[in-house]
Chains A and B, each alone.
Chain A
Amino acid sequence: MNGLIGNDELQQDGTEWELRLYIAGQSTRSAVAFANLKKICNKYLAGKYHLEVVDLLQNPQLSSEHQIIAIPTLVRQLPAPIRKIIGDLSNTEKTLVGLQLSPAKVSHE
């Protein structure tokens, strides 16, 4: 898993994480996803992430940029490559795998 090792190196370099959460209006599912994401970020990426929440109802034209079809969708823009996680992020383990933040690696660090 080369990608994983590369990410570790980036993290050690203090790379900024740039995340974007796409939602549509103030639905409970969006709120759940936002809360779940906050939890994960605070635990694993404290101090080195930037999170932007995009409401597609207000900016529909933004949906094509990241090819968003499902709501909610979390996009990891940085570090590269781009990763997409769709759903309410209720499965923390899967979310971490999706972000390539495997718990084992992080705890080892």
Chain B
Amino acid sequence: MASKSMSIIVTKGSLDWAYPPFILATTAAAMGLDVTMFFTFYGLPLLLKKLDLQLSPLGNPAMKMPMAGMHMGMPNIASMIPGVDAAASKMMTNLMKKKGVASIEDLRAAAVESGVRLIACQMTMDLFEYTLKDMIEGPELGGAATYIEVATKSDINLFI
């Protein structure tokens, strides 16, 4: 039986949004699927050698963190203060560690190890002035047509 396949377009690179594509890619690979991830726009920096992932509570009313037995959101006026994004990112990272959630670095390494095909969007590389030297070992360069070819042959195609 030919194995099933999945492709994911990865468009977001914040700490929170980095999770769904890497969780699904690594799990699908573990379940025997051929997986391709296409990194474009703000998803592209997820391939950088050194990750410094941040998130922002600004304009994110659904982000409510467990605190002192309650769930606390943050008003936009507070989220705007310099340093708040960094503090919220640190808080999320600590919470994830405490709850046994893998780091993006670990999930990314697992994706590479399990043979997930990584495609870096050539146009985004040019736009944001990156080269393959800035990236981890493994990604290849490709454009929309490269992705579409993969998508036409995949059982599952996701845009995240």
Do A and B come together as binding partners? no
Chain B contact residues, CB within 8 Å of chain A? none
Chain A contact residues, CB within 8 Å of chain B? none
